[in-house]
Amino acid sequence: MDRVLIFGYGNFDRQDDGVAWHVLAAVARRLGREVPASPDEEFLLTGDSPDFMFELQLTPELAETVAQYDRVCFVDAHTGAVPNEVNVEELTTEFQSSPFTHHMTASTLLSFAATLYDARPPAILVSVRGYEFGFERALSERTASLAEEATDQIVAWINSRI
């Protein structure tokens, strides 16, 4: 069986920006896995695929982690600049420069894994439309309903190769 990583990132304290954590928790529950009480705690690595990780943002150091998996699903929020409210795209391994020093794309992280570890796991990005980015941990009603759709798509993606 493939080693699969479901990797969510975003700011849980900024409402819909934290949608990835809610999606990871929902996927884990559907698979009968234990879910941490909050994003401040890590998901337990049980040895059963998939593994779950949630971080505030992507960093170069995560290339080593990504390189250990056969398939990776990244989960993040978006603000409407992509075609669908729940957008699923296959990622390419390419370095993408950014004018922001604190911003790294999933494709850039994959390029680091390829360059440093000769690892090229197939990967997708599931991005969920966020509508409200206030200082609270609850999702807006619209994004909460989209999180369910994203959960369905990720579970189907996991099951497509089992």
The pairing of strands 86-90 and 123-129 is antiparallel
The rounded distance, in Å, linking the Cα atoms of 8 and 53 is 6
Q: What is the pTM of this model?
A: 0.93
**How do residues 11-20 score in pLDDT, each as one tens digit?**
999 999 999 9
C-alpha triplet 111, 58, 46: angle, nearest 5°: 95
pLDDT at residue 14, rounded to an integer: 95
pLDDT at residue 13, rounded to an integer: 94
The DSSP H or E segment spanning 53 is: strand 51-55
Q: How many domains does the chain divide into?
A: 1
Q: Give the pair of three-digit tokens for residue 111.
A: 């390029």
**How do residues 27-53 score in pLDDT, each as one tens digit?**
999 999 999 999 999 998 777 889 999
> What is the rounded average pLDDT for all residues in the chain?
91
pLDDT at residue 130, rounded to an integer: 95
Query: Measured between alpha carbons, how far is residue 14 from residues 33, 56, 136, 154 in Å?
Result: 26, 11, 6, 23
CATH number at residue 126: 3.40.50.1450
Measured N-to-C along each axis, helices 141-159 and 19-30 cross at an angle, to the nearest 10 degrees, of 50
Alpha helices in the chain (DSSP H): 19-30, 62-66, 106-117, 141-159
Looking at residues 121-136, what average pLDDT do you find?
96
Looking at residues 81-94, what average pLDDT do you find?
90
Asked whether the predicted pLDDT for residue 128 surpasses 60, the reply is yes
Range of the domain at 148: 4-159
Asked whether the predicted pLDDT for residue 102 surpasses 90, the reply is no
Query: Measured between alpha carbons, how far is residue 148 from residues 23, 97, 154 in Å?
Result: 7, 32, 10
